Amino acid sequence: MTALLPTVLGAGAGTSYDVQAVRADFPVLGREVGGRPLVYLDNASSSHKPRQVLDAERTFVESHYSNVHRGVHTLSQEATDAYEAARDTVAAFLGAADPHEVVFTKNATEAYNLVAYSFGNARAGSRFALGPGDEVCVTEMEHHSNLVPWQMLCERTGATLRWIPLTDEGRLDLSDLDALVNERTKVLAFVHVSNILGTATPVETLVARARQVGAFVLLDGAQSAPHQVVDVQALGVDFFVATGHKMLAPSGIGVLWGRRELLDAMPPFMGGGSMIELVQMGGSTYAPAPERFEAGTPVISQAVALAAACDYLQEIGLDRITAHEQLLTGRLLEGLRGLDGVRVIGPDSLTSRGSAVSFAIEGVHPHDVGQSLDELGIAVRVGHHCAAPVCRRYGVPATTRASSYLYNTEGEIDALLEGITTVQRFWR
Amino acid sequence: MSTPASTESMYQEIILDHYRHPHHKGLRDPYDVEVHHVNPTCGDEVTLRVSVADGVVRDVSYDGQGCSISQASTSVMTDLVIGRQVEQALQTSEAFLALMQSRGTLDPDEDVLEDGIAFAGVSRYPARVKCALLGWMAWKDATAQALDTMDESTTTGGAA
Q: In this predicted model, what pLDDT tens digit does every residue of A179-222 receive, in sequence order?
A: 999 999 999 999 999 999 999 999 999 999 999 999 999 999 99
User: How high is the mean pLDDT of chain A?
Assistant: 95
List the domains of chain B with CATH numbers: 5-150 (3.90.1010.10)
| CB pair distance less than 8 Å for A375 and B125 | no
Residues A232 and A362 in one domain: no
Q: Which residues of A touch B43 (CB under 8 A)?
A: 383-384, 388, 391, 397-398
Which domain CATH number covers A397? 3.90.1150.10
Domain limits for position A355 = 2-50+317-427
Q: How far apart are CA B38 and CA A384, in angstroms?
A: 13
| CB pair distance less than 8 Å for A384 and B43 | yes
Of A372, A391, A398, the CB nearest to B7: A372
A371 touches chain B (CB under 8 A): yes
- Residue numbers in chain B where pLDDT is lower than 50: 1-7, 157-160
- Reported ipTM: 0.80
Q: Which residues of B touch A45 (CB under 8 A)?
A: none
Residues A309 and A341 in one domain: no
Which residue, of A295, A314, A333, is where some domain finishes?
Answer: A314
Residues A33 and A66 in one domain: no
| DSSP strand pairing (A39-40 vs A378-379) | parallel
**B45: nearest CA partner in chain A:** A397
Residues A152 and A255 in one domain: yes
Q: Going by C-beta distance under 8 Å and a sequence separation of 6 or more, which residues neighbour residue B30? A: B51, B59
Residues A131 and A273 in one domain: yes
| CB pair distance less than 8 Å for A34 and B4 | yes
pLDDT in tens, B111-142: 999 999 999 999 988 889 999 999 999 999 99
Residues A46 and A149 in one domain: no
Which domain CATH number covers A295? 3.40.640.10
Residues A174 and A262 in one domain: yes
Residues A220 and A200 in one domain: yes
Q: Which residues of A touch B41 (CB under 8 A)?
A: 383
Residues A63 and A46 in one domain: no
Q: How confident is the model at residue A5 (pLDDT cuts 50, 70, 90)?
A: low
Residues A307 and A194 in one domain: yes
Which residue, of A314, A335, A370, is where some domain finishes?
Answer: A314
Which residue, of A249, A282, A314, is where some domain finishes?
Answer: A314
Q: How far apart are CA A383 and CA A375, in angstroms?
A: 18
Q: How many residues does chain A have?
A: 428
pTM equals 0.90
Question: How many domains in chain A?
Answer: 2
Residues A122 and A213 in one domain: yes
Give the max Cα distance, chain A: 71
Residues A192 and A63 in one domain: yes
Handedness of CA A80, A83, A87, A88 (dihedral sign): positive
Q: Going by C-beta distance under 8 Å and a sequence separation of 6 or more, which residues neighbour residue A198? A: A170, A329, A346, A347, A353, A354, A355, A356, A357, A358
